[in-house]
Amino acid sequence: MHTADKAAPSSTAATTVTWVLAALLGGSLLAACTSTPTQQSTGEAIDDGVVTAKVKAALIEDPLTKVHQINVETFQGTVQLSGFVEDDEARNRALQLARDVDGVKRVKDAMEVRNSTT
């Protein structure tokens, strides 16, 4: 029985070490999947890519905005529209189209009105 008593502590120690390593590894993996204000998780990047595609599709489908050079960037649900439009009507329409897309939390306007007559 003394042999079994001696084996139990090392087995318990090995189990404890295994659990500690698993907890550390699991914590590291969770930290890698979370986002920070300047970085995003893989899931957020995929979601942002989908939002960007939907906003671009909406801009292309609309007769008022399809002819303009409007760039779309998305970060953590915030969409930024940049580029050039001919007038405020086109700018406002682009902003509204972006706001109406599912998954958009906020829209930033970095577009410039460029008159085709100047």
Section 90-111 average pLDDT: 97
> For residue range 13-55, what is the model confidence (pLDDT) as tens digits?
667 767 766 666 665 454 445 556 678 788 888 899 999 999 9
CATH of 42-113, one of 3.40.50.300, 3.30.1340.30, 3.30.460.20, 3.20.20.70: 3.30.1340.30
What pTM was computed for the model?
Answer: 0.66
The more confidently predicted of residues 111 and 3 is: 111
CA 71: distance to chain centroid? 17
- The secondary structure of residue 58, as a DSSP letter, is H
Phi and psi dihedrals of 69, rounded to 5? -95, 80
- The secondary structure of residue 20, as a DSSP letter, is H
